[in-house]
Amino acid sequence: MINKGGQSVRKLLMTLSLALAGAGLIWGIVMTRGGEWIKTGFRFFTGEGAGLSLTWKVDGLTVFFLFILLLGQGLSSLYSIGYLKEYEEKKKSLWPFFTGWFLFLGSMFGVLLADDGFSFLLMWEMMSLFSFFLVLYEHEDPQNRKSAYIYLVMTHVATVFLTAATMFLYSKTGSFAFEVWAGVVPMLTTVQLNLLFLAFFVGLGSKAGFVPFHIWLPYAHSAAPSPVSTLMSGVMVKVALYLFFRLVWLMLGPGPVWWGWLFLLIGALSALVGILFASVQSDLKKLLAYSTIENVGILGMALGSAFLARSWQNDWAMNLALVAFFWHALQHMLFKSLLFMGAGNIIQATHTRNLERLGGLLRRMPKTGLAALVGIVGITALPPLGGFWGELILFQSLWLNTLELTGGWSKVFLPISIGILALVGGLSLATFVKWFGIAFLGQARSNVAERAEEAHPVQFITPLLVGGLAILSVLWPAATLEFINLPMSVLRTGEVISIGSNLGKPLFMTSVYLILISLLTVVVVVLTKRGTRRVTATWNCGTPLTSRMQYSATGLTKPIRILFSKAVGSHRHVERNFVESSYSLRSLRYEGRSKEVFEDVFYRPLIHGLFWVASQIRKLQEGSIHLYIGYLLITVIVVLILGR
């Protein structure tokens, strides 16, 4: 009876979350049809008191990210209706989850809407805390507790930088309002401006997952329950990136050229490091989390290209870079949600996240598999789906940026970043062939994979729906561009040009390509339909085939691990036990690992340094009463001198 009550609460609350998202979306679409407030902004909540004035504002930029947030919320709520059933069956209380869920979503809304430093920091901190609680929801697993702990520490390091920037601006202006801050920016010295930028860069960049502040991300995103992972990877990183526009692009202004280079460099580094580590993972969700770092890197590169074009006054390239950013942000939200949902289904069906124990799931979970296939085509940036078109526009923007420059070595470095993006594309192909191929194709590698069953209908309908949306966004690019137009009109100064007409034909290629390739495939399928087919055993040189003969997840990307062994810190340990001579082996133990290089080269020395400083400071506190009296004496003298 109690169980039944719990079930209806789950359905009720998640449907409520879904309905809220749906209502928000519809209301938003109706509201955004025209209206001056898209460009100028609309303040709808102002409260004063205790010396603080709080304002919330909506403009075109906010609306776009609200759209991503609402869409992400709706989809993951729908998915949760099925996903949370398992916890219910395990008799695990869902109330902490619901509380965290709604507060997490609410605080993300708050961050997007905040128009002053105080409410921004408050909401930002709430967003971090409630997502921390959600990561900790499955706290029974010590691994998850460790992940949540790393997340908590890293997220507060980020907040320190943001608080410092806020405090600085408050001390300059005596106000928290973004509007007032923007007014004071032209008066700042170059050093102050650059320091502010760096504080925002580190603070927001760690939340977005830029390398080298990324180390929390693979832990936290993979430890959270799958619906929460979709929100964190699909939405939360974009909320952090949104603030780059709000606080850096709009407030700090164009800035020097090196800001753009920093974005481009860190973006390229994040993309490369993210996908490299993703390619050597064997954990279903950790791989996806690392791929989020890659995609954040690609978004960072788009930002970099936009910033560079802005400082070089290359309007066309800037437009393209911004369109690429928003397009990719939307597509990544769709595909990453889809893949995390797929991973969630697999984990519920097999209770393992280890790729080495999966295999052959496409026959047992056909619908999840179909959705996941759409997901990997999208996430590896291949046509005909949306991931590719975003990258195409980014390529084009980098290309134009280079072409329009009058001279300098930038003309070499920018095209090299195109090469890096191509390398990232190749690596992500390998990564997701591994993710999909090892999990869904071939033979089952363990009993759990053999016994897997298709998930609850809601759990495969939702990812299929996401896939459908992704296809729709490509089939009807004009509608997608309408949404991208909203933030564009805020970010660009000067007259509003409809991007749709400006991009013109190339963007309609998206639908042309999709239709043509589908037609061609259908024609080929029909033409080769005749003939007989027979199911037989796999050819294996005449010996029986066991499931251990297939390539493993580790084996599939072994060449990559060898080529980039320094970067991924691959480590191999072989122990041989011989009977008597070295010809008869008794046992062999092999261990291969790759480790987070950044933890070793960046964080460990940092932590050691901090501990060292702390231990030095501790020497002040010797425990001797004479020393303390001496301190008092010194203090009194110093105060007397200062207060003279």
Q: Interface residues for another protein in 370-389 (CB under 8 A)?
A: 373, 376-377, 380-383, 388
433 binds another protein (CB under 8 A): yes
Q: What are phi and psi of 573, to 5 degrees?
A: -135, 120
475 binds another protein (CB under 8 A): no
Q: How far is the CB of 495 from another protein (least distance, A)?
A: 23
DSSP letter for each residue of 475-492 = H-HHHHHHHHHHHHHHHS
Q: Which is nearer to another protein, 56 or 440 (CB)?
A: 440
Task: Give the H or E element holding residue 572.
Answer: strand 570-578
Binders of another protein in range 535-554 (CB under 8 A): 535-540, 545, 547, 549-551
With CB under 8 A as the contact rule, the residue among 4, 90, 91, 533 that binds another protein is: 533
525 binds another protein (CB under 8 A): yes
Q: Which is nearer to another protein, 84 or 361 (CB)?
A: 361
291 binds another protein (CB under 8 A): no
Tell me which stretch binds another protein (CB under 8 A): 262-270, 451-459, 534-542, 565-573. 534-542
Q: How far is the CB of 571 from another protein (least distance, A)?
A: 19
> 584: buried, middle or exposed (CB in 10 Å: 19+, 13-18, 0-12)?
exposed
**CA gap 156, 129 in Å, rounded:** 10
264 binds another protein (CB under 8 A): no
With CB under 8 A as the contact rule, the residue among 204, 220, 269, 438 that binds another protein is: 438
189 binds another protein (CB under 8 A): no
Q: How far is the CB of 236 from another protein (least distance, A)?
A: 29
Q: How far is the CB of 421 from another protein (least distance, A)?
A: 8
**CA gap 221, 236 in Å, rounded:** 10
Q: How far is the CB of 3 from another protein (least distance, A)?
A: 37
In the chain the first and final C-alpha atoms are separated, in Å, by: 77
**CA gap 220, 592 in Å, rounded:** 24
With CB under 8 A as the contact rule, the residue among 457, 506, 609, 630 that binds another protein is: 506
Q: How far is the CB of 426 from another protein (least distance, A)?
A: 3
**CA gap 243, 247 in Å, rounded:** 6
Q: Are 52 and 117 in contact (CB under 8 A)?
A: no
With CB under 8 A as the contact rule, the residue among 268, 392, 466, 568 that binds another protein is: 392
Task: Give the H or E element holding residue 339.
Answer: helix 315-350
Give the other-Cβ count within 10 Å of 25's Cβ: 16
Contacts (Cβ under 8 Å, ≥6 apart) of 161: 199, 200, 202, 203
With CB under 8 A as the contact rule, the residue among 47, 253, 419, 605 that binds another protein is: 419
**CA gap 56, 547 in Å, rounded:** 58
442 binds another protein (CB under 8 A): yes
Preceding omega of 225 cis (within 30 degrees of 0): no
Binders of another protein in range 234-263 (CB under 8 A): none
The helix/strand/coil state of 472 is: helix
**CA gap 478, 468 in Å, rounded:** 17
- Cα Rg of the chain (Å, integer): 27
Q: Which is nearer to another protein, 194 or 443 (CB)?
A: 443
With CB under 8 A as the contact rule, the residue among 441, 458, 475, 567 that binds another protein is: 441
403 binds another protein (CB under 8 A): yes
Q: Which residues pair with 574 in a beta bridge?
A: 590
Q: Are 255 and 188 in contact (CB under 8 A)?
A: no
Q: How far is the CB of 420 from another protein (least distance, A)?
A: 7
Site size for another protein, by CB under 8 A?
Answer: 83
Tell me which stretch binds another protein (CB under 8 A): 155-163, 187-195, 422-430, 460-468. 422-430
396 binds another protein (CB under 8 A): yes
Q: How far is the CB of 587 from another protein (least distance, A)?
A: 23
Q: Are 260 and 300 in contact (CB under 8 A)?
A: no
Binders of another protein in range 335-374 (CB under 8 A): 359-360, 362-363, 369, 373
Instruction: Mark 563-602 with x for binding to another protein (rule: CB under 8 A) and - for no binding.
Output: x---------------------------------------
Q: Which is nearer to another protein, 17 or 431 (CB)?
A: 431
Q: How far is the CB of 357 from another protein (least distance, A)?
A: 15
Tell me which stretch binds another protein (CB under 8 A): 22-30, 92-100, 293-301, 423-431. 423-431
* CA torsion, ordered 116, 122, 123, 126, to nearest 10 deg: 170
Contacts (Cβ under 8 Å, ≥6 apart) of 481: 323, 499, 500, 503, 507
Q: How far is the CB of 534 from another protein (least distance, A)?
A: 6
**CA gap 151, 180 in Å, rounded:** 33
**What Cα–Cα distance (Å) separates residue 245 from each residue in 205, 240, 297, 304, 419?**
12, 10, 16, 12, 26
Give the other-Cβ count within 10 Å of 576's Cβ: 11
Binders of another protein in range 73-112 (CB under 8 A): none
558 binds another protein (CB under 8 A): yes
